[in-house]
């Protein structure tokens, strides 16, 4: 509910603080006193476009601030309000003379668009310039579902719808690059096959490089090794070999060791060296004898090296890198193959979820159709009470555009989180005329009464919500007898809402739980607006003035209206 409304430098309003009460608040006063300015300020706060025309003459900016609270503590009034920590928030908007301005919610800057979204949760404004929440078709759908108490069924459908969207999204991701996936699979199969066919072995390239060098320089190797063999083990009488000279040295050291036994270790070391030289000479001889050029093998080695160089150039700088690339390709192939299996599972799940969602949607739609008939009767009954007998009300249904769901009758439709129905409230102002959407159906006064009728009908179900409802010009063209009916309707509605009503009829005003007069005041040659709560004798006097005089008959009539209203509200409360 609205706890406080502060308005500064708005139109002719200088500095106004209004504290409305729970229940039914009525604003009364002379024509032109500024009653609708209060509603206009609330409308601007709720996000209506506003320029310098709303700024009071001589002021730099207009400022409007509202404190809203959920007195019941249930949080219903503030449902969907992001960032609201408790059950109370403050909304503020400034409109500067240059056309710019700011908006804040609980002190945090917010775009004007956010104010409009928030306003639909907090206020329902009915007047000449307001955009009524009830004119929004999605809001109408929510209200119909609330009237029919379909929250569990709706939640079940929304959950299924979200699951189906997720599956469709996964399938879309799998199918978006389907052609690229086929190309990728072919390329990976070729690459993995090419590397696999090469039967690579780690370190193979280094071994082949050595073999290639040996085959290419085999004559040079033979010549070098043969010379080494001659120097180490061959020789003749004129040029002894290395082993001959080691043998002669060994003999001399042994002779010396016979005299000095401390030389024996040296003799043993020379003997060991001689053995190693002789072994090395024999191995070199064997290596020399093995050196034989094989042209065919040389070609095979070069061909293999060319293959390895090509694979390393394509897939990595080493054989290890090429083998790692092949393993990654095989794993990616496995993933692509598993995606085919996943696509099959997702397709089956999509069909199953689609069938379940279609059944849930048809069940929700059937319950809505039943509730729509009941709501139509209730609204028409309320309209008849409000002297609008003959006005027809109905709810139109159309399937959501799309072909996502197959229905039981063979037709197809789309879906949203709200269901498979697009609905709209339609009004037929007079018998014989066509039904029209609410926005095109009636004049301002008729529309306000129409909204009152719909709100009263909705309050019979669970769809009333915890809004602050504001009605302006609801009593245009209405006489005293009809005015009392309107007063009772508003009072009944105020049992579940905070209601604000601007009225010229004392028969309506008498049913207010709180009455405020709006007056123009002139101070220092400047006009301003005041809102004053009237109670007791002051309220009787205000109602008497609304009846046409301050004489005793009018005062008696005012007291009678108040007493009749108290009696009716007392009886209504007992019967509730």
DSSP letters of 397-433?
EEEPSSSSEE-TTS-EE--BTTBSEEEEEEEESSTTS
Total count of residues recorded for the chain: 576
Q: Is residue 416 part of a domain?
A: no
**pLDDT tens, position by position, 28-71:** 988 777 788 888 888 888 888 887 888 888 888 999 999 998 76
CATH of the domain at 497: 3.40.50.300
Residues 248 and 315 in one domain: yes
> Measured between alpha carbons, how far is 354 from 165 in angstroms, rounded to an integer?
10
pLDDT of residue 200: 86
- Do 224 and 284 reside in the same domain of the chain? yes
pLDDT value, residue 43? 86
- The DSSP code sequence of 64-90 is EEEEEE-TTSSSSTTTT-TT--SSEEE
The Cα 396–Cα 136 span in angstroms is: 14
The pLDDT, as a whole number, for residue 443 is 60
Domain range enclosing 498: 2-131+463-480+490-575
- Burial readout 305-340 (b: 16 or more C-beta within 10 A, e: otherwise): beebeebbeebeeebeebbebbeebbeebeeeeebe
Residue 231 belongs to a domain:
yes
Tell whether 383 is covered by a domain.
no
Q: Is residue 23 part of a domain?
A: yes
Residues 222 and 318 in one domain: yes
Q: Note whether 124 and 188 are same-domain residues.
A: no
Does residue 235 share a domain with residue 109? no
How many Å is the Cα radius of gyration of the chain? Answer: 49
Rounded to two decimals, the pTM is 0.63
16 and 112 fall within a common domain: yes
Please check whether residue 148 lies inside any domain of the structure: no
Angle at 213 between CA 211 and CA 215, to 5 degrees: 70
| Domain count along the chain | 2
Residue 127 sits in the same domain as residue 187: no
Domain boundary residue among 284, 310, 330? 330
Q: Which of 330, 356, 379 is the last residue of a domain?
A: 330
Residues 100 and 237 in one domain: no
**Residue 294 covered by a domain:** yes
Last residue of a domain, one of 285, 304, 330: 330
Q: Is residue 515 part of a domain?
A: yes
Q: Is 316 helix (H, G, I), strand (E, B) or coil?
A: coil
pLDDT per residue as tens digits for the range 197-232? 888 888 888 888 887 877 777 778 777 777 777 667
Q: Which two tokens stand for residue 443?
A: 């004049």
Question: Which residue in this structure is represented by tokens 């192939």?
Answer: 333
Cα dihedral 457→22→574→73 (10° resolution): 90
Q: Which residues of the chain have pLDDT under 70?
A: 71-86, 127-133, 175-180, 230-231, 233-241, 337-339, 439, 441-446, 460-466, 477, 479-480, 574-576
In whole angstroms, what separates CA 277 from the centre of its chain? Answer: 85
The rounded distance, in Å, linking the Cα atoms of 81 and 93 is 17
Residue 153 lies in a domain: no
Whether 325 and 255 share a structural domain: yes
């Amino acid at each position: 509910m609205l706890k406080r409304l502060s308005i500064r430098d708005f139109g002719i309003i200088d500095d106004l603080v209004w504290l409305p009460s729970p229940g039914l608040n009525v604003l009364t006063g002379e024509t032109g006193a500024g009653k609708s300015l209060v509603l206009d300020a609330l409308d601007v706060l709720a996000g209506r476009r506003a320029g310098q025309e709303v700024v009071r003459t001589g002021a730099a900016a207009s400022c409007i601030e509202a404190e809203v609270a959920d007195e019941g503590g249930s949080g219903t009034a503030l449902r969907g309000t992001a960032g609201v920590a408790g059950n109370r928030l403050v909304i503020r908007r400034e409109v500067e003379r240059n056309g710019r301005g700011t908006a804040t919610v609980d002190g945090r800057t917010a775009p004007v668009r956010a104010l409009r979204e928030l306003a639909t949760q907090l206020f329902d404004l009915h007047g000449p310039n307001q955009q009524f929440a009830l004119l929004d078709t999605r809001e109408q759908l929510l209200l119909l579902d609330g009237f029919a108490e379909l929250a569990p069924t709706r939640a079940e459908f929304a959950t299924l719808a979200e699951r189906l969207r997720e599956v469709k999204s996964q399938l879309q991701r799998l199918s978006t690059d389907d052609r690229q996936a086929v190309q990728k699979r072919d390329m990976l199969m070729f690459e993995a096959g090419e590397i696999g066919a090469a039967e690579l072995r780690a370190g193979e390239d280094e071994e082949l490089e050595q073999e290639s060098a040996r085959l290419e320089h085999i004559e040079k190797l033979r010549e070098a090794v043969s010379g080494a063999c001659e120097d180490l083990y061959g020789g003749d009488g004129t040029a002894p070999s290395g082993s001959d000279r080691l043998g002669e040295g060994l003999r001399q050291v042994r002779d010396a060791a016979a005299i000095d036994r401390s030389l024996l270790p040296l003799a043993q070391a020379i003997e060991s060296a001689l053995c190693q030289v002789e072994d090395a000479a024999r191995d070199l001889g064997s290596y020399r004898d093995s050196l034989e050029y094989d042209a065919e093998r040389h070609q095979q080695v070069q061909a293999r090296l060319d293959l390895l160089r090509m694979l390393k150039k394509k897939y990595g700088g080493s054989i290890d890198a090429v083998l790692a690339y092949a393993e990654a390709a095989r794993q990616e192939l496995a993933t692509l193959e598993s995606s085919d299996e996943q696509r099959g599972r997702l397709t089956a799940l999509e069909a199953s979820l689609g069938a379940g969602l279609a059944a849930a949607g048809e069940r929700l739609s059937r319950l809505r159709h039943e509730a729509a008939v009941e709501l139509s009767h209730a609204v028409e009954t309320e309209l008849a009470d409000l002297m609008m007998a003959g006005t027809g009300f109905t709810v139109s249904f159309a399937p959501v555009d799309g072909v996502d769901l197959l229905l039981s009758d063979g037709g197809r439709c789309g879906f949203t989180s709200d269901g498979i129905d697009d609905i709209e409230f339609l009004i037929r102002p007079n018998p014989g005329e066509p039904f029209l959407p609410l926005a095109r159906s009636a004049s301002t006064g008729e529309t306000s009464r129409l909204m009152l009728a719909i709100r009263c009908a909705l309050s019979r179900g669970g769809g009333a919500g915890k809004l602050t409802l504001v009605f302006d010009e609801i009593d245009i063209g209405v006489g005293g007898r009809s005015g009392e009916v309107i007063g009772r309707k508003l009072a009944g509605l105020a049992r579940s809402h905070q209601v604000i009503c601007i009225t010229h009829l004392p028969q309506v005003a008498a049913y207010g739980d709180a009455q405020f007069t709006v007056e123009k005041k002139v101070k220092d040659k400047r006009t301003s607006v005041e809102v004053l709560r009237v109670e007791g004798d002051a309220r009787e006097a205000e109602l008497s003035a609304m009846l046409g005089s301050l004489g005793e008959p009018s005062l008696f009539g005012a007291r009678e209206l108040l007493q009749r209203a108290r009696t009716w509200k007392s009886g209504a409360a007992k019967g509730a």
